[in-house]
Amino acid sequence: MSESFDVVDLIRTKRDHGNLSTAEIDWLVDAYTRGYVGNEQMAAMAMAILLNGMERQEIRDLTLAMIASGERMSFDGLGKVTVDKHSTGGVGDKITLPLMPLVASFGVAVPQLSGRGLGHTGGTLDKLESIPGWRADLTNDEMFAQLRDVGGVICAAGSGLAPADKKLYALRDITGTVEAIPLIASSIMSKKIAEGTDSLVLDVKFGSGAFMVDIEKSRELARTMVDLGNDAGVSTTALLTDMNVPLGLAIGNANEVRESVEVLAGGGPADVVELTIALAKEMLRLAGQPDADVEKALTDGRAMDTWRRVIEAQGGDPDAALPVARETHVVTADRDGVLLTQEALPFGIAAWRLGAGRARAQDPVQHAAGIDLHAKPGDAVKAGQPLFTLSADEPQRFERALEAVEGAWSIGDAADWTPRGPLVAERIE
């Protein structure tokens, strides 16, 4: 078979700040999907895109080519409005876990096709696999049945859904190209558009623990994805949310599941509850229920009931004990004062080094590994008081985790404390 283009020419074009045509992008994605373009070549292209960017038309073409690489789903026969949510990833971001059952408890179908850890950010599927018996891989028939009977599902995207993105997603994680806006936007939106949901809410992070540290870059990413979604007929909005400080008190896998269950029981950390409610209201607004009382659904047990049914439907035991690490290391305050800083990225890297994330695409995660925070910025602390606990199955992991968080937190006087800005900074539609 004669190939239409030479991949090296395309790499050079993007390396030299040129633009790729629709035909070139279509060929590149197809050739990579069928294995003609190798991982090393696509890695070079991904790096060129990271460094030099893409024009809006290129991003749209890349998204459409990824969609065309596989099947497109439809929920038209479900008899329910469908709404999905996607987060660009953060440290301690377990929001999908309480959010999906909360929204589904209002009779809306929530097809939450989720991913695994990427870089220093945790993956929803990795977290849920802490639950004994729970399985991420469902057939389309199983997913449809669960949406019809239970109202919500969290599962892996099927192999037929944007397979080009599945290959590129894993490659980005191990080649330092996760942060490229065109690749993030096309990756997320190709799956969400192909999924066939009626509407979509994006949680786009900014700050230390986000892929986009600068809020302007996050805004650019949000607008790019909102445009892609609405152009494709998916009602799409985005919330820009602060990821300078870890979300909640748990960073890892099993411990984030525990914290999510606390939220569903009407408790949990204030920031996790706040963001869960904000996203639920936005999702239900797009689903035609702008006056839904989401706070009540968290406290009256409806959301918890849906959670239990979802976990059981996917083979999990919601009452089973979650994994606990064999080893722990506690870091304490060295003086009285106020916790002034707690940077998200170093804590995310530390959790990754403890085993909560993966260094290679094929690596397993350690579900019990992670960090439990005992104080948040603004909290008063006493000398000797625990600030955070590291957990791992192998004690030799503690040294490198502690190196990651060195200088990432500080204690000072109350007069030096500056309150954070709002957790939800902007809404984009």
The residues that are catalytic are: 86, 165, 172, 187, 191
The torsion defined by the Cα of 86, 165, 183 and 428, in degrees rounded to 10, comes to: -30
Alpha helices, H only, 18-95: 22-33, 39-52, 56-68
Contact criterion met (CB below 8 Å) for 243 and 206: yes
User: Minimal CA–CA distance to 240: which of 210, 218, 214, 213?
Assistant: 218
Residues 6 or more apart in contact with residue 358 via CB below 8 angstroms: 116, 117, 173, 352, 364, 365
> Token pair for residue 314?
């996917």
DSSP 273: H
371-426-103 Cα angle (round to 5) = 65
Summarize the chain as % helix, strand, coil (round to 5). Answer: 45, 15, 40
> Token pair for residue 67?
């969609």
Please tell me the distance from the alpha carbon of residue 189 to that of residue 169, in angstroms, as a whole number: 13
135-139-142 Cα angle (round to 5) = 85
Please tell me the distance from the alpha carbon of residue 88 to that of residue 8, in angstroms, as a whole number: 31
- For residue 293, how far is the Cα from the chain centroid? 25
> Token pair for residue 299?
């406290």
> Token pair for residue 54?
């893409």
Alpha helices, H only, 334-397: 344-351
195 phi and psi, to 5 degrees?
-60, -35
Please tell me the distance from the alpha carbon of residue 250 to that of residue 325, in angstroms, as a whole number: 14
SS3 206: strand
